[in-house]
Structure formats: structure tokens, C-alpha cells
Structure 1
Amino acid sequence: MEKIKVGAVSYLNTKPLLYGMQNEQFLQTHELVLDYPAHIGEALKQGIVDVGLVPAALLPSFEQSFIVSDYGIAADFDVASVCLFSEVPLEKVETIYLDYQSRSSAALLKILMREFWGIQPALVETKDEGFRTKITGTAAALVIGDRAFEQRRLSTYVYDLAAEWRGFTGLPFVFAVWVSLQPMSPEWIEQFNAANAAGMNYLEEIAEAQKYSAFNLRTYFQHHIAYRLTEERLKGLERFLELLKVY
């Protein structure tokens, strides 16, 4: 039987979700494909993967899609790993470099700029890691994922996008959801939910296993990242998709 290909983000924040997908039983019928967020949605569109942890901003780009899990990547307040970094306050920022690995975060940034912060800096697309060296003077950058932890140690001003979204809407922000382009069976969804849930009782152990020093992963997994797609978190997703139509 052909394996179901599951596309997942290669950042630290997915480690708890993938914990239950890296055992022999799951891998007998599934294959994990790891990449950064912007590539996962494209892989799903091209049929490279059957199910993907897709940036929320890409949902409107699918002709037909199905959210196939009760789990994803969200934040109720500050997320710590999706931030705008600068050497000057927001109102003095003239240029923002956009992380090439991002889709939802870049869309969220644009919404916050116009609807909440009231600023209109020039936005510059990037293609490689060099953009982080340009955070100087009135030039800022959106940095996501594990590299954001490193940048937190370097930049004077740190604007956490999930916290800013909460201040703007009063709602959590959902960064990514598990999506398929074809319906999956109820039996498979139950199995997949169980795989996602398996790591939730081992967050401390998963954090310790990473041997990561740039940020306290125990705090990150337990307090910054929210994995279960509760009703309130789905309301945040719905609000984001509504605002996304304008941009």
C-alpha cells in the first residue's frame, strides 16, 4: 500500500506534534516530509504531499481543502518566534524585510501595519538568510521560526506579532493547520489526531531532548505555542481569513 505523505514544518515548534509520528507503527503507513512553511502549501498543491501543516494565509488559495486535525500551530498571547525586529520604534521604521520562509506571518504583519499600527513602510521580499543583516537604522525585518530566537538577542526592539494580534482583536492567532485537498476517512482522522496528541504529555521531555540554548523550549512549548484548535482559536482563524480578503 502506498504511504500517505505528510508535510510538516521543520521548526522546533512542531516537535511535540511530530512526536507521535516518528514511531515505527505510524511510519509503516506514512512518510514525513519536512520543509519550511512557505514550501509545504506548494508541496500540497503539487501533490508531493497528501496532508500538510499549511500556513493559514494559504487556505484561500486552495479551490477545495479540508482541515483534517484538531491540532495545529497557534498562540493565545505572545508566540516568541514570529516577530518584527528593529533598532528604532515602530513609528520610525521606513523599510521592512519579509522573511522568505513566511506566508501567514507576512500577511499578519500587513494587517497589523494598516489596521492596528497605522504605519506604511516599504516592504521588501527576500530570498535568503542575508536579510537579517539589514536590520539597521530605520530598516526592520520580520523573522520567524528558530532564527527569531537568535534575533531576539540582537535587536533593540521586538514586536511579537501574535501578541500584537491579540491586542488588536482580543483573539488567539492560528499560524498553521493540517490540511488535505481530498477528504480523509474518519478512521484516519482519529488516528492522525492521536498521533498529534501523543506528544502533549511529554512537552518537558521533548524540550530537554532538543539541547537548544537560544530559548527556553520548555516555556516555549508549554506557554507560547498552543496546539489544540479550540473554539476560541478557530474564531481567531476565522477573523484572520476575513481580514485577509482585504489584502
Structure 2
Amino acid sequence: MKLGLVPYLNALPLHAYLELPFVLLPPSTLEKKIFAGEIDLALLPTLSYLKHKNLIPLFELGLIQSMGPVESVMVSYPQKLGHPSNIKSIKFTSESITSIALFKVIYRFYWDQPLEELQLTHSPHAAYLEIGDKAFNLPRQDRVVIDLGQVWSEWTGLPFIYAFWVARTPPSKDILQKIIEARKKGMQNLDLLCREQKILPSAQALHYLTKCMRYEMVETSLEAINLFQKYCFELGLIRL
């Protein structure tokens, strides 16, 4: 069985001790690979699952979730615009699936702006959405940087789930157990993992993985997924 995860710091505790072969790919590529049948089990973007519910959700294996600031799903825009509702053009990262949808949901339903007037651009001077490790420590000179995880949680009072394990066919108990054990060992060894990784200073990495990330379901996780699904449906991003 072929496994896939994202190549970002937030997934490190899930695969650092995984005793199974796997590949690390951006969310947008993972979506293509699993639907092409090239990957069987993946830490897939939430929106990808909502678009193709023939996949098997495996929440018990772990997920990428935040409650409040996530620090790795960020929008940067020119300071002169003032409030983010004044954004009229934006550049989206090609790696993202769910975070682009999250921005659209917030833009339409929280900031109450028509999506029809939002233009896509490649200008480096416009607003842009960045995810993963590239979103850490974005330049702030003459710009405002907002955290979409924080915006969502302040608006809804709920966590946001960016990705979770799904499978094309039921995995064996042995594979499931190895993924669960890898996550447990990763969480038990966060200090070591943070010292060894090269993406952030170790203290900042530890803060990110312990204060921003949550890897197990909480009481309101499904409620959050269902609310996100409702908004995505209203925007025409998915079909029910």
C-alpha cells in the first residue's frame, strides 16, 4: 500500500517514525495522486475528501488541526488596504487545496465580500496566500499578515481541520497500527525532532507543534468539518 503525506513541518510527528514506505508531496499533488490510483492512503486535504466522498476517512490515525493561530496558513497584503475585506486581488499558492477554499469562505461569509469581484493575480505586490513552511516569518514591512486559522476560530469558535488520513480501500490492521504508533512516538519525541529539524529554530518549532497543531480529534472536530462543508457547498466548491 502506497502512502503519502505533506512535506511540511506540521506532518513531521506523523512520519518521522513511520515504518512504512511513503512519499512527501504538496496537498495539491497528493490529491491528484490518490485519485489517479498512484497513492492508496494519504494525509489528504479536507476539501479533497469533501469533493470525493468515496474515500474512507480514518480520523483515528491523526489529522492536521488548529484551534486558534495556525502560523502556517497566512495571507499577506499591502498595509495601505487597511482591513482584509478590501483585498480585491490575490495570488494563491499552487500547493494548496483546502486553504484556498478557507480564504474564499472567510472572504465571502465573514468579511461579507462578493467572490465575483476577487481577481487572481501573479503580482508580487498584491495580496497572497502562503501555506506550510513557506508561511513562517513572512515579510511584514508595509504589509499586514493574517492567520486564517485564527480568523476561522475567532469567527466560528471551532477548530479548523486542514487534512486527515483517508484511504482508497480499507487498510490492514497492521498498517493502521503502524501509523498510530508512529504518531504516538513522534509526539513523545517532539523535543528531539525539533532540535534535529532545520526549518525553524528549535524553540519556535516546538511552540508550533505543541501550541498550534493538534493531531487528534476533539469534540468539535466533526462539527467544524461539517460547517466548512456547508460553506464550500454554498460557494459551489463541492457537491453534496
The equivalent residue for 2:100 is 106
Partners of 1:69 and 1:193 within 8 A in 2: no
What is the TM-score normalised by the length of structure 1?
A: 0.85
The equivalent residue for 1:128 is none
Partners of 2:85 and 2:107 within 8 A in 1: no
Structure 1 gaps of 5+ residues are: 126-130
What is the TM-score normalised by the length of structure 2?
A: 0.88
Task: Decide which of 135, 141, 144 is 2:128's aligned counterpart.
Answer: 141
Equivalent residue pairs, number: 228
Secondary structure at 1:85 match in 2: strand
Distance in 2 of aligned mates of 1:37 and 1:86: 23
- 1:160-171 to structure 2, matched below 5 A, reads 160-171=147-158
Q: Which has a greater percent of strand?
A: 1
Show CA shifts across 1:78-106 (max 9, x none): 10010110113213322111111101000
Q: Which amino acid aligns with 1:223?
A: K
The equivalent residue for 1:17 is 14
Structure 2 gaps of 5+ residues are: 236-240
Show CA shifts across 1:141-168 (max 9, x none): 1111111114255562111111111112
Task: Decide which of 37, 59, 72 is 2:49's aligned counterpart.
Answer: 59
Show CA shifts across 1:29-77 (max 9, x none): x321111111111111111111011100111222511112421111011
User: What is the identity percentage for the equivalent residue pairs of Structure 1 and Structure 2?
Assistant: 27
The equivalent residue for 1:178 is 165
Q: Residues 123 and 55 of structure 1: is their aligned pair in 2 closer, same or farther, counting only changes over 3 Å?
A: farther
Q: Residues 56 and 152 of structure 1: is their aligned pair in 2 closer, same or farther, counting only changes over 3 Å?
A: farther
Q: Which amino acid aligns with 1:174?
A: I
The equivalent residue for 1:122 is 118
Partners of 1:20 and 1:197 within 8 A in 2: no
Determine if the alignment matches structure 1 residue 201 to structure 2 residue 151.
no
Task: Decide which of 49, 54, 62 is 2:39's aligned counterpart.
Answer: 49
Secondary structure at 1:174 match in 2: strand
